[in-house]
Amino acid sequence: MNFLLDGFLKALELLFSGDPETWSAVSATLRVSALSMLASLSMGIPAGFLLGYKQFAGKKQVRLIVDTFVALPTVFIGLLVYAFLSRRGPLGDLQLLFTLPGIAIGQTLLALPIVTALTATAVESMDRDLRITLMSLGAGRKQLFLSTLWESRFGILAAGINAYGRVTTEVGISMMVGGNIKWHTRTVTTAIALETNKGMFDMGIALGLILLAIAFVVNLSLSFLRKK
């Protein structure tokens, strides 16, 4: 067990000394996560709201498809994105393969069904009498939309937190689409996998501690928003 303690001590040294390789992976992770979450939230929240609020033909089938996409393996998503972004793919001219925006596209496909499904669940679990009450008070469509969003805000926040957690901890998409290029597309998770395989437990533990810190900050923020 001594190697774990030694690795932990060296990890703290790497973190507090500002090791450039460690913080390069952290920077790449934060940037690509921000891009993917911005895209998935901007599309997933309206889509989830409509899926949970509206009644339309084929709704059950659409919901089944969305719920199925929630469980898609990251390596499968990485394979699809790689095929589309490669030189022989339909989006090859964009030259997004082995770039952070390319990884963000794959992570958006990963997070979007999660945000959509959980937002729809949050809207569906609301008090069904709310809409009738608001309409009886003369609320218009815009007021109905905003009031429903406000009442389901905690469920939507939970959807965002779940999606962010899945995005920051995935490996398959980052490895396949990003290529794990040092100083360029190497994220925290791909760096952990690489350094552990090389026997560099100190670097792996350091990056793991950073992931724990990110998760703590995100959950602390959610708790603060709930109190507000």
Structurally, the chain folds into a number of domains equal to: 1
**In the Cβ-directed half-sphere of 165, how many Cα atoms lie within 13 Å?**
14
- Report yes or no on 42 lying in a domain: yes
SS3 184: coil
pLDDT at position 74 is: 92
pLDDT at position 151 is: 83
- Report yes or no on 15 lying in a domain: no
Q: Which residue has the tokens 């973190």?
A: 15
- Report yes or no on 154 lying in a domain: yes
- Report yes or no on 7 lying in a domain: no
CA–CA–CA angle 195, 199, 202 (5° rounding): 65
- Report yes or no on 151 lying in a domain: yes
Q: Supply the CATH number for residue 172's domain.
A: 1.10.3720.10
Could you give the C-alpha distances from 134 to 89, 146, 149, 157, 197, in angstroms and in order?
50, 11, 13, 23, 59
DSSP state of 35: H
Q: Side chain identity at 121, as an amino acid letter? A: T
- Report yes or no on 138 lying in a domain: yes
Q: Which domain holds residue 205?
A: 20-227
Residues 6+ apart with CB under 8 A from 175: 78, 190, 193
Chain-centre distance for alpha carbon 222? 15
pLDDT at position 105 is: 96
Q: Which residue has the tokens 């959807």?
A: 159
pLDDT at position 3 is: 64
d(CA 161, CA 37): 10
- Report yes or no on 10 lying in a domain: no
- Report yes or no on 165 lying in a domain: yes
10-residue mean pLDDT profile of the chain (228 residues): values are 69 78 89 96 94 89 93 92 93 93 96 95 79 70 78 87 90 93 91 83 80 82 70
For residues 118 and 159, is the Cβ–Cβ distance under 8 A?
A: yes
Dihedral pair phi/psi, residue 182, rounded to 5°? -60, 140
d(CA 180, CA 25): 10
pLDDT at position 116 is: 96
Nearest to 85 by CA among 162, 177, 148, 181: 177
